[in-house]
Amino acid sequence: MTTNDRRAFRPDPRLSAALLLAKGVARGIQVAGRGGGTSAPGMVADRVDVGLLTKLTDRLAHGVVTVAGTNGKTTTSRMIADLLEAGGMKPVHNRSGSNLVRGVISAFASQARLNGDPGGDAGVIEADEAALPELLERVSPRALLLNNLFRDQLDRYGELDTIARKWRPAIERLGPETTIVVNADDPTLAALTTGVAARVVRFGFNEERHRLESLSHASDAAACRVCGADLAWHALYVSHLGDWYCPSCDNRRPDLDAIGLDIQLNGVESLDMTVRDTIRDTDGDHAIHVGVPGVYNAYNVLAAVAVGRVMDVPMPTIIASMAAFRSAFGRIERVTYRDRTLTLALVKNPVGFNEVLRMLTVATGGLEVPTLIAINDLHADGRDVSWLWDVDFELLADGDGKLATTGIRGADMANRLKYAGVAEDRLTPLPEEFESSLDAFVEQISAGGSGYILPTYTAMLRIRKILADRGAVESFWKQ
């Protein structure tokens, strides 16, 4: 028992009633054996006490970190929760992946006690893009991380401009008790956090090696928010993220408080980088090693480190916590199945997909390992598959690796690969059903060899289940 556990909270009958009800509903769902009911407890609790989330988070002595961004939310908020814990805090975190308002309420209600004890002393809230304004109204965070804003499932969120427009008033309402930790390499986010009342800590890269040659077609934020001219980049790292400037006015990337540099990618396993930190009085370069791959994850690492510094976690603690971090289950994982090693990497939007392709082709400049792409178009995947045309599959045209396709939209995917210039003798369109296509794919891999599987969200869930049912063993990033 820590002292915090014994702290007396002022009795609040309404809050306790809401918590009781939420817990009852959660138990009911569990007993009924129905999955995916994470929003129901939050929905009923909200009806009884609309202040539940505000009250619970007000009682967190170290405050709340709210994490927003299109890509990397889950990985980054797990890194943050880990490093807060390493720093001696006890974080409450909506880990279940339900990041709409009611899902966050459900998660916090389930971890609280009936007397209103939130069950920890710090909060980590992973916020869906659409839910961020309402969450900021209910919870005023100590640190708000704005990590990136990419095109993602437009049929769900509307256009990027719309998101930025909805975020602006919520961000402008924050006072100096909040520190916004923002990726200044993202021009839209940099504009959103200019001239606000909150404190702002800006992070970005000054990286020599991992530069892109040109803006990819998946990129959006191309216009200067001051004068409307097309932006240009001194260096471009992921999608539209980089050292940007406007050629026709003096708008440019703001000065950075935390800088990522000397990034070294160790295949699909891990990365090393240097973080130059001026956020607190410990100016200096710090070497970081983390077991997550790809340039895009280097941004997540830098973001988490910056948040850790804002939350006053000492740098050596952050470094140790990062070194012990393991990839979020379901993002990238590796299994052994029928004597083959399969690496699964979730793909959910053009920028994320491009980064996965970059990772697979970085060593030889082409694809050499058999790869299965599994595309579904259910709600959680995005019902519109046109985004596949914004992914740079042309990267796969070089190399000898076989490419197979499956899923509800496997036929669209095969067609996309044909137009990307992948030779037809490398291309195998497999049936929609994963049960048969998985084995057909595995047979293309020599015994003892390895393959990649790149599924959208619901395809990932299904493929994991089939592999688990058939006795596949998770062989690497074991939880």
Judged by the rule CB under 5 A, the positions of this chain that interact with Zn ion are 224, 226-227, 229, 246, 249, 251
Least gap, CB of 419 to other proteins (angstroms): 5
Least gap, CB of 248 to Zn ion (angstroms): 5
Least gap, CB of 393 to other proteins (angstroms): 10
Contact pick of 429, 461, 474, 476 for other proteins (by CB under 8 A): 429
The CA distance from 102 to 381, in Å, is 21
Contact pick of 411, 440, 461, 466 for other proteins (by CB under 8 A): 411
Closest listed residue to residue 325, CA positions, set 353, 302, 291, 299: 291
**Which residues from 356-385 bind other proteins, rule CB under 8 A?**
377, 383-385
Least gap, CB of 228 to Zn ion (angstroms): 7
Say whether residue 386 binds other proteins (CB under 8 A). yes
**Which residues from 113-152 bind other proteins, rule CB under 8 A?**
151
Say whether residue 160 binds other proteins (CB under 8 A). yes
Q: Which does 224 bind (CB under 5 to 8 A by kind): Zn ion, other proteins, none?
A: Zn ion
The smaller minimum CB distance to Zn ion, of residues 53 and 246, is found at 246
Least gap, CB of 386 to other proteins (angstroms): 3
The smaller minimum CB distance to Zn ion, of residues 251 and 361, is found at 251
Say whether residue 398 binds other proteins (CB under 8 A). no
The CA distance from 135 to 145, in Å, is 13
Least gap, CB of 236 to Zn ion (angstroms): 18
Q: Taking CB under 8 A as the rule, which mask of x and - marks residues 65-104 in contact with other proteins?
A: ----------------------------------------
Binding residues with other proteins: total (CB under 8 A)? 35
Say whether residue 440 binds other proteins (CB under 8 A). no
Say whether residue 414 binds other proteins (CB under 8 A). yes
Question: Dmax over Cα atoms in the chain, in whole Å?
Answer: 70
The smaller minimum CB distance to other proteins, of residues 215 and 359, is found at 215
Q: Taking CB under 8 A as the rule, which mask of x and - marks residues 165-204 in contact with other proteins?
A: ----------------------------------------
Contact pick of 27, 217, 470, 478 for other proteins (by CB under 8 A): 217
Positions in the binding site for other proteins (CB under 8 A): 151, 154-155, 159-162, 217, 220, 222-223, 228, 230, 377, 383-390, 408-412, 414-416, 418-421, 429
